């Protein structure tokens, strides 16, 4: 989860897992381990009570019991080992297993919070091998502990070790990422009609010749690069290459320049079709409270997590932390936030919002059956079914009527203590706790519930009404408690997600409530907020802690009657211009370029692209869509590390995101994250021990390592996959903007009459025309005249035979609308092209 910046982040999950690299010579330092060769028996080594230690053939051996859930259920260790701050140590041992096993080899604080200065996960075999590691001690300690965690196996096995050594005076480990060829491209590919840009790392002062070759090796285009000088975000000198004039589709293209050839890529219209689906499918395997079916996600099946079945202690009836409340709540369901088992309202809020926003952008593109989830086939678009799984959880976090702070929302629910990796959700033995309500969480609930009230109205009126009632209740509670802030020190067992300024959440919630209800109270709040007219387009993008942008984008795109809506729309275009200017200056085409990269920088890149995408929708200007297309190049390989940050996309992609159950790097029986999972990406603060050990002094783009224990640079989260899904859906949309004139007028109350005029300004007839739009809520067409009109959920399709050149046709219908606003639809597609 993002922003785990409290001291609790150095707890037992903050492993500093080292790769199995040779330890450099440490001959000058004294041996710290006592009896590491076991010539004198087993003392002073100790084991947990479920072990009997013995010496066999000069090695320490023990029979490890089966049916243990966690690595720390079985431990062998030695205490009282001195460490000196700043000293680099070589740690080595010989280890074997009766059958292949991954174990933990740790150097750590011997008491809570068990801070780990080295955590290695070597794979032991029956043949045995020597394992060597280095680490630098961040503190001086007179009594560090070496521990071998060897539990977590269903079957019993035999463990042996010998020649355990810990010596100072080692050379610090030098980490050099494998960046492959110096020519950096979008490894997934480029759209035929879109921009095609690449970056080459070179010290050449002048332009270089480049060649684009097809899969057969034939040169199909050529040109010269543009020198760009020093790129501050990577610390490298680079050139950029533009080969956008080549538009012929194909597979296996490569780009050659300066004696280097890029990794292969495609040129195709359908590049993002699967990514759009995969980025959304990610959420099913993140679900809590339900069995993940292997027939729906082969290789990812698992029992339901946290449904009150031992060893779980939740989430059927979860109590509050001591002193917070005297009730328990049923908070089963929802999505696990990240690689842990916590569930957080503020992170869930922006995530479910962006899924519903993806749906609201083009309701016709979201279908039932697209995601292959248990609800597929129920007549509701799958993206809404998935969003509902989280929204139901958010509703369950609301403080019940009659209790103190009724209507507020609890900030989060998670384990009482941190757990280690790997740990499947159904095996988590920790007690679960509700944390205090917060104003931020309450406003997230108000915003998402107001949005859900309108998007679910055509499919489930009762659920929509429940959401609207919860939104109103949450809004009133937040007004009564405007400054209940999450404790920044509440970071044991889960992230704090603290936010010192909730004025942006007030603005977002008021905007959603106004769009859904049209009520003046919310309009007044929106217009009086400084976020309504201020420059909210941060260079660092928007995220769960900066949500005013969500309100502004919604007011710009979802039909509503805010009086200054034209200015709101212009402001979105101004924000897009800012990000476009940043992108044009950046030699890697990044619409994000602060001097240091943030935790989860990839999601901030994508959210800046969302602003550009909305500007395209509002104006139809191709430069904004081209900006989004070029921005995706960075995510998919055109970056300093020459890798894709989306699992399964591109020749080299992130595979080892920080997760307790997508943990193949630690346990070969477990899977990697599913295809379509976004990695958080470069983070200049490098808070985790792995990053601190390997990435010191890194330039922003190099502050990343694809390692499961690098939770600061390589985490996965629900709020990072949300903009990936949004942008992938935008890029998969192959419709263009066309000049067409559609006029929609309606009058009346809950029973209304509408008239639609379609004017053909072109020189040719519109034959067999089809006009598509969608209502914002539960409006229904009753009787139509002048055209054939059908409706599927909120999506309406009208069709007719012919519109002559420079003529118009008019058709009408009667309809019904529930209580509340009935704004005119604003997005129309004529024969598949978006009107402007």
* DSSP-derived pairing of the beta strands 780-785 and 770-774: unpaired
Mean of the pLDDT values across residues 284-291?
Answer: 98
List residues bridging with 789 in a β-sheet: 798
Q: Which residue has the tokens 């590491």?
A: 36
Express each pLDDT in 435-482 by its tens digit.
999 999 999 999 999 999 999 999 999 999 999 999 999 999 999 999
Residues 6+ apart with CB under 8 A from 323: none
pLDDT at 9 over 80: no
pLDDT at position 28 is 65
CA 656 – CA 645 distance, rounded (Å):
11
Buried b (16+ CB within 10 A) or exposed e, 91-128: bbbbbbbbeebbbbbbbbbbeebbbbbbbbbbbbeeee
Mean of the pLDDT values across residues 406-432?
Answer: 94
Per-residue confidence at 153, pLDDT binned at 50, 70, 90?
A: confident
pLDDT at position 16 is 37
CA 294 – CA 285 distance, rounded (Å):
10
Q: Between the CA atoms of 825, 828, 834 and 836, what dihedral angle is there, to the nearest 10 degrees?
A: -70
Segments in 172-272 forming alpha helices (H): none
pLDDT at position 212 is 98
Tokens found for residue 651: 């020749």
The structure's pTM equals 0.91
Mean model confidence pLDDT for the chain? 94
Q: How many residues does the chain have?
A: 836
pLDDT at 642 over 80: yes
Judge if the upstream peptide bond of residue 315 is cis by omega within 30 degrees of 0: yes
> 781 exposed, middle or buried (CB, 10 Å; 0-12, 13-18, 19+)?
middle
Helix (H/G/I), strand (E/B), else coil: 386? helix
Per-residue confidence at 766, pLDDT binned at 50, 70, 90?
A: confident
pLDDT at 274 over 70: yes
pLDDT at 6 over 50: no
pLDDT at position 15 is 35
Express each pLDDT in 507-528 by its tens digit.
999 999 999 999 999 999 999 9
CA 615 – CA 552 distance, rounded (Å):
12
Express each pLDDT in 220-266 by its tens digit.
999 999 999 999 999 999 999 999 999 999 999 999 999 999 999 99
Per-residue confidence at 19, pLDDT binned at 50, 70, 90?
A: very low
Per-residue confidence at 492, pLDDT binned at 50, 70, 90?
A: very high
Q: 10 Å Cβ neighbour count for 255?
A: 24
Mean of the pLDDT values across residues 306-313?
Answer: 96
Q: Are 552 and 531 in contact (CB under 8 A)?
A: yes
pLDDT at 14 over 60: no
Tokens found for residue 327: 């009730």
Distances (CA, A) of 773 to 108, 130, 449, 736, 744: 61, 66, 24, 15, 11
3-class secondary structure per residue, 277-310: HHHHHHHHHCECCCCECCCCCCCCCECCCCCCCC
Distances (CA, A) of 140 to 83, 85, 607: 5, 4, 42
Mean of the pLDDT values across residues 615-635?
Answer: 97
Q: 10 Å Cβ neighbour count for 679?
A: 30
Angle (CA) 799-358-648 rounded to 5° is 115
List residues bridging with 771 in a β-sheet: 798, 830
CA 822 – CA 561 distance, rounded (Å):
10
pLDDT at position 825 is 96
pLDDT at 835 over 60: yes
Rg over alpha carbons for the chain, rounded to the nearest Å, is 29
Report the interhelical angle of 439-455 vs 548-557 (nearest 10°). 20
Q: Are 105 and 128 in contact (CB under 8 A)?
A: no
pLDDT at position 8 is 33
Mean of the pLDDT values across residues 14-34?
Answer: 58
Express each pLDDT in 45-74 by its tens digit.
999 999 999 999 999 999 999 998 788 899
Per-residue confidence at 27, pLDDT binned at 50, 70, 90?
A: low
Buried b (16+ CB within 10 A) or exposed e, 48-83: beebeeeeeeebbbbebbeebbbbbbbbbbbeebeb
pLDDT at position 119 is 82
Mean of the pLDDT values across residues 286-301?
Answer: 98
Residues 6+ apart with CB under 8 A from 836: 619, 620, 737, 738, 739, 740
Query: Nearest CA to 716 among 542, 545, 600?
Result: 600
pLDDT at position 114 is 81
Residues 6+ apart with CB under 8 A from 402: none
Helix (H/G/I), strand (E/B), else coil: 200? strand
Q: Are 157 and 98 in contact (CB under 8 A)?
A: yes
pLDDT at 682 over 80: yes
**Secondary element (H or E) of residue 694:** helix 689-694
Mean of the pLDDT values across residues 538-547?
Answer: 97
Distances (CA, A) of 674 to 360, 368, 656: 26, 21, 11
List residues with catalytic annotation.
340, 658, 706, 715
Q: Quick one: what percent of the chain has pLDDT higher than 70?
A: 97
CA 70 – CA 422 distance, rounded (Å):
8
pLDDT at 13 over 60: no
List residues bridging with 757 in a β-sheet: 743, 810
- Residue with more model confidence, 3 or 687: 687
Q: Are 833 and 362 in contact (CB under 8 A)?
A: no
Taking the chain, what is the end-to-end CA distance rounded to the nearest angstrom?
A: 40
pLDDT at 206 over 90: yes
CA 197 – CA 241 distance, rounded (Å):
5
Per-residue confidence at 11, pLDDT binned at 50, 70, 90?
A: very low
pLDDT at position 228 is 98
């Amino acid at each position: 989860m993002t922003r785990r910046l409290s001291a609790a982040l150095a707890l037992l999950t903050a492993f500093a897992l080292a790769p199995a690299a040779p330890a450099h010579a440490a001959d000058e330092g004294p041996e710290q381990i006592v009896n590491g060769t076991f010539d004198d028996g087993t003392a002073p080594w100790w084991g947990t009570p479920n072990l009997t230690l013995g010496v066999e053939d000069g090695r320490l051996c023990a029979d490890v019991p089966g049916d243990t859930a966690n690595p720390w259920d079985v431990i062998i260790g030695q205490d009282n080992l001195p460490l000196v701050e700043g000293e680099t140590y070589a740690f080595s041992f010989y280890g074997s297993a009766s059958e292949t096993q991954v174990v933990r080899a740790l150097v750590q604080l011997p008491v809570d919070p068990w801070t780990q200065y080295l955590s290695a996960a070597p794979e032991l075999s029956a043949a045995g091998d020597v394992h060597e590691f280095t680490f630098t001690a961040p503190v001086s300690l007179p009594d560090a502990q070496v521990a071998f965690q060897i539990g977590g196996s269903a079957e019993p096995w035999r463990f042996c070790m010998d020649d355990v050594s810990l010596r100072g005076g080692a050379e610090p480990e030098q980490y050099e990422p494998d960046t492959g060829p110096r020519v950096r491209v979008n490894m997934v590919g480029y759209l035929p009609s879109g921009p095609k840009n690449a970056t080459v790392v070179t010290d050449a002062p002048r332009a270089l010749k480049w060649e684009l070759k097809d899969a057969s090796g034939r040169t199909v285009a050529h040109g010269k690069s543009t020198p760009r000088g020093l790129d501050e975000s990577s610390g490298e000198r680079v050139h950029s290459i533009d080969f956008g004039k080549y538009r012929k589709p194909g597979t296996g293209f490569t780009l050659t320049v300066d004696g280097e050839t890029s990794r292969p890529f495609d040129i195709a219209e359908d590049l993002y079709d699967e990514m759009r689906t995969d980025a959304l499918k990610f959420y099913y395997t993140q679900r809590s409270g339900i069995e993940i079916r292997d027939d729906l996600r082969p290789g990812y099946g698992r029992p339901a997590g946290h449904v009150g079945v031992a060893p779980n202690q939740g989430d059927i009836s979860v109590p509050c932390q001591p002193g917070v409340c005297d009730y328990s709540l049923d908070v089963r369901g929802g999505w696990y936030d990240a690689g842990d088992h916590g569930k957080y309202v503020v992170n869930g809020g922006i995530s479910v919002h962006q899924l519903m926003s993806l749906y609201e952008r083009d309701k016709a593109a979201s279908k039932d059956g697209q995601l292959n989830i248990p609800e597929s086939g129920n007549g509701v678009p799958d993206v809404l079914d998935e969003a509902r799984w989280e929204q139901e959880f958010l509703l369950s976090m609301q403080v019940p009527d009659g209790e103190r702070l009724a209507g507020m929302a609890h900030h989060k629910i998670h384990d009482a203590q941190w757990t280690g990796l790997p740990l499947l959700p159904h095996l988590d033995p920790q007690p679960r706790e509700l944390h205090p309500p917060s104003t931020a969480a309450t406003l997230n609930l108000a915003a998402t519930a107001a949005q859900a009230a309108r998007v679910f109205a055509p499919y489930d009126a009762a659920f929509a009404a429940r959401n609207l009632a919860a939104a109103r209740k949450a809004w009133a509670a937040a007004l009564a408690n405007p400054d209940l802030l999450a404790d920044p020190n509440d970071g044991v067992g889960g992230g704090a997600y603290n936010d010192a300024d909730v004025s942006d959440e007030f603005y977002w919630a008021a905007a959603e409530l106004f769009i859904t209800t049209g009520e003046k109270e919310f309009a007044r709040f929106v217009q009086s907020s400084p976020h309504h007219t201020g420059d909210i387009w941060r260079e660092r993008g928007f995220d769960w802690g900066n949500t005013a942008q969500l309100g502004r984008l919604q007011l710009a795109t979802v039909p509503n009657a805010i009086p200054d809506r034209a200015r709101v729309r212009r402001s979105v275009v101004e924000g897009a211009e800012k990000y476009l200017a940043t992108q044009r200056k950046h030699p890697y085409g990044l619409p994000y370029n602060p001097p240091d990269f943030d935790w989860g920088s990839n999601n901030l890149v994508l959210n800046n692209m969302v602003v550009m995408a909305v500007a395209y929708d509002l104006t139809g200007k191709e430069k904004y869509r081209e900006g989004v297309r070029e921005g995706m190049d960075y995510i998919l390989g055109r970056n300093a590390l020459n890798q894709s940050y989306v699992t399964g996309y591109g020749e080299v992609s992130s595979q080892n995101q920080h997760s307790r159950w997508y943990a193949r790097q630690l346990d070969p029986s477990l899977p990697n994250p599913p295809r379509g999972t976004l990695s958080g990406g470069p983070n200049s603060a490098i808070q985790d021990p792995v990053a601190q050990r390997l990435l010191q002094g890194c330039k922003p783009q190099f502050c990343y390592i694809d390692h499961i224990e690098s939770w600061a640079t390589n985490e996965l989260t629900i709020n990072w996959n949300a903009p990936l899904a949004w942008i992938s859906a935008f890029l998969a949309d192959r419709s263009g903007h066309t000049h067409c004139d559609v006029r929609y007028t309606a009058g009346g109350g809950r029973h209304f009459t509408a008239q639609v005029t379609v004017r053909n300004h072109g020189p040719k007839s519109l034959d067999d025309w089809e006009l598509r739009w969608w209502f914002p809520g539960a409006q229904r067409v009753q009787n139509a005249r002048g055209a054939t009109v059908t409706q599927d959920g909120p999506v309406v399709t009208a069709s007719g035979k012919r519109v002559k050149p420079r003529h118009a046709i008019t058709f009408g219908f009667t309809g019904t609308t529930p209580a509340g606003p009935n704004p005119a639809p604003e997005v129309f597609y004529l024969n598949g092209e978006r009107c402007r």
